[in-house]
Amino acid sequence: MANTDSIIKIEHLTKSFGDKKVLDDINLEIRRGEFITFLGPSGCGKTTLLRLLAGFLRADEGRIVMEGSDISELPPHKRLFNTVFQRYALFPHLDVYDNVAFGLKLRKTPSDEIDKRVRKVLKMVSMTDYEDRDVNSLSGGQQQRVAIARAIINQPKVLLLDEPLAALDLKMRKDMQMELKEMHKTLGITFIYVTHDQEEALTLSDTIVVMNEGKIQQTGSPADIYNEPINSFVADFIGESNILNGTMVKDCEVSFIGHTFECVDKGFGENVPVDVVVRPEDIYIISQTENAKFTGVVKSCTFKGVHYEMFIDTDKGFEMMIQDYNQFEVGSTVGMFIKPSDIHVMKKERTCNTFAGVMTSPTSVRFLGAEFECRECGLKEGDEVSARVDFDKIDLLDNKEDGTITGEVNFILYKGDHYHLTVVTDDGDKVFVDTNDIWDKCDLVGINIAPEHIRISKRV
Ligand code: ATP
C-alpha cells in the first residue's frame, strides 16, 4: 500500500503543440509506492503528461520535482524512471534473455550479476522457461511481460506504463491486470499508468487522476471517484450514470425528474440549478407503485450477466437507466425510490453560454469570430460586451455551410429528456447546446443564433 510520502510533484505544467494547449496548468502530487492512473478520453493529454515525466518532451511552463530536486531539464536516461509502451518495442533480433539483459550489458554489469537479475525478473513476470525463445515467437501478452521485465531490471524508482495492455485481447488483459497488481505489490515501486479504460483504472489503481481537455478534473481513490464524482464529465466517464438537471430547493432537498427528493447535500443555496447524478444500481424498483416516490413504464430489459439493465420512462417524461437483480416485464408499470445518500448533487459549471464580444453596430455584435444580428440594446459600435445565450437557443444545422459559424460535436451528455452537447468551433471555442435531436460525436455542424436569443450586457 502506498504511504503518504511524496515522490513526485508536478507544478503548473503546461504544454502546447502549435497553438493547441494540450496540458493546462497541471498540478499533482504522487506518493511513493502508489499505483496512480491518468484516465481520460482519447486526446485529453494523458500520454503527453507521461512523456513529460519520462523526459521525452519538455514543458512550456511549470516543473517536475522528484524527491525535492527539479528534474524538468534532465534527459530521460538520467531520470530514475523506466517506461513500458503499448507496443512492446522489443529487439526482434535478440532472444528473451538478451532483450531483458540489454540495459545491464550496456552498463557493463558483471555477467553473473546479470544472470541473477535476469532470472529474478523473468520469474516475477512468469516467463522463467522462455529465456532462449525468439521474441517474435511469443504471444502479445508474453511479449509485454518481457517488456515489463526489461523495464524493471534496473530497479527504477518509478515505472511509467503507457496503455501497456491495450493491444491484448480481453482475457489476456484481465489476467495481466491481476499480474501487474501483484507485481506492483512485490516491487514496491511507484507505478504511473495511462489508460482510457475506466474499468482498468478502477481495478488497478490506488489513485485515479481523471483528465479531460488538458485539465485534471478530479483526483481520488477509485471509490471516491465512483461514489462522489465532482462534475458531470467524471460521472459520465466513470461507470454508468443518470445525469439530470435539477434544482436545489434548500439544504437537503433537491428536485429533479419532476419530483422533490430528500438528499444529504447542503450549502448550495436556495433554488439553485444543479446537476444531479444517480447511479443505475442506486434506483430501487418496487412493484407496489403506491409506496413509490415516482413511477414509470419499463421500456427495455436486458440481462447483463449479473443484473438486468432497464430503461424506464418515468411519470414526468424522463428516461432513466436502472440496474436490478430482478427482471421486470417490458410494458409494466413499476414504482421506484432513491435513498437520500445515493443522490449526488453537483454545482453546475455554467447555466448558459457566455461569449466575450464587441458591438459592431447598435444591432450587431461580434463574438466567436463572426458577426451576429442582435436586438437594439442601447449600446454602440466598439462597446465591449458579454453575449449570453441559453443552451436550448443555439440552432445546430446538418449542413455546416448554412451556419453563421461551423463546429464539431465534441462531447454528448444524455440528461434524461434531452442531450447536452459541447460543440467546438473551428477557432477552438466551446458552444454548449441543449437539444432533442440526435447527433454523433465528430459530426460537423453549422451554428446559428436568432437575434432575440442573444442577451447583451456591457462588459466593465
Ligand atoms: P490517446 O489515448 O488517444 O493517446 P491522450 O489523452 O494520451 O490520447 P495525447 O497523446 O497526450 O492524448 O495527445 C493530446 C493532444 O495533443 C492530441 O490532440 C494530440 O493529437 C496532440 N499531440 C500529441 N502529441 C503531439 C505532437 N507531437 N505534435 C502535435 N500534436 C500532438
Distance, CA of 218 to CA of 24 (rounded, Å): 14
- On whether the CB atoms of residues 148 and 83 are closer than 8 A, the answer is no
Minimal-distance CA residue to ligand 1 atom 5: 43
- On whether the CB atoms of residues 23 and 45 are closer than 8 A, the answer is yes
* Ligand 1 atom closest to 48 (CA): 11
- Shared domain check, 68 and 213: yes
Task: Estimate to the nearest angstrom the gap between the alpha carbon of 459 and the chain centroid.
Answer: 34
Distance 385 CA to ligand 1 centre (A): 35
Q: For residue 258, is it within any domain?
A: yes
Query: Which one-letter DSSP state was computed for residue 282?
Result: G
Q: For residue 300, is it within any domain?
A: yes
- Reported as half-sphere exposure (CB side, CA atoms, 13 A), residue 246 has a value of 30
- Shared domain check, 321 and 263: yes
- Shared domain check, 205 and 89: yes
* Ligand 1 atom closest to 49 (CA): 11
Q: Mutate which of 37, 42, 51 to test ligand 1's pocket (most atoms within 8 Å of Cβ)?
A: 42
- On whether the CB atoms of residues 371 and 365 are closer than 8 A, the answer is yes
- Shared domain check, 303 and 226: no
Please state the domain count of the chain.
Answer: 3
Expressed as residue numbers, the domain containing 209 is 6-233
- Shared domain check, 196 and 54: yes
Burial code (b: 16+ CB inside 10 Å, e: under 16) for 1-24 equals ebeeeebbbbbebebeeeeebbbb
The residue out of 183, 210, 233 marking a domain boundary is 233
**The three grid cell numbers given for residue 24, joined into one nine-digit string:** 493546462
Q: Indicate the residue type of 245.
A: N
Distance, CA of 160 to CA of 55 (rounded, Å): 11
- Shared domain check, 261 and 336: yes
Distance, CA of 242 to CA of 276 (rounded, Å): 8
3-state secondary structure of 14: strand
- Shared domain check, 364 and 343: no
Q: How many Cβ atoms are within 10 Å of 67's Cβ, its own excluded?
A: 13
Distance, CA of 436 to CA of 221 (rounded, Å): 35
Residues 6+ apart with CB under 8 A from 444: 400, 406, 407, 408
Distance, CA of 332 to CA of 440 (rounded, Å): 31
pLDDT per residue of the chain (460 residues) written in tens, 0 to 9: 445 689 999 999 999 998 889 999 999 999 999 999 999 988 899 999 999 999 999 999 999 999 999 999 999 888 888 888 877 678 889 999 999 999 888 888 899 999 999 999 999 888 888 989 998 888 888 898 899 899 889 888 999 999 988 878 888 888 889 988 988 998 899 999 999 999 999 999 999 999 998 999 999 999 999 988 888 889 988 888 999 999 999 999 999 999 999 999 999 999 999 999 999 999 999 877 788 999 999 999 999 988 999 999 999 999 999 999 999 999 999 999 999 999 999 988 889 999 999 999 999 999 999 999 999 989 999 999 999 999 999 999 999 899 999 999 988 999 999 999 999 998 889 999 999 999 999 999 999 999 999 999 998 7
Distance 378 CA to ligand 1 centre (A): 46
- Shared domain check, 209 and 165: yes
* Ligand 1 atom closest to 162 (CA): 7
Distance, CA of 130 to CA of 132 (rounded, Å): 6
Q: How many Cβ atoms are within 10 Å of 447's Cβ, its own excluded?
A: 21
- Shared domain check, 164 and 48: yes
| CA distance to 64, 67, 76, 197, 320, per residue, from 8 (Å) | 7, 6, 15, 24, 42
Which CATH number characterizes residue 421's domain?
A: 2.40.50.140
Distance 35 CA to ligand 1 centre (A): 23
- Shared domain check, 106 and 225: yes
- Shared domain check, 202 and 245: no
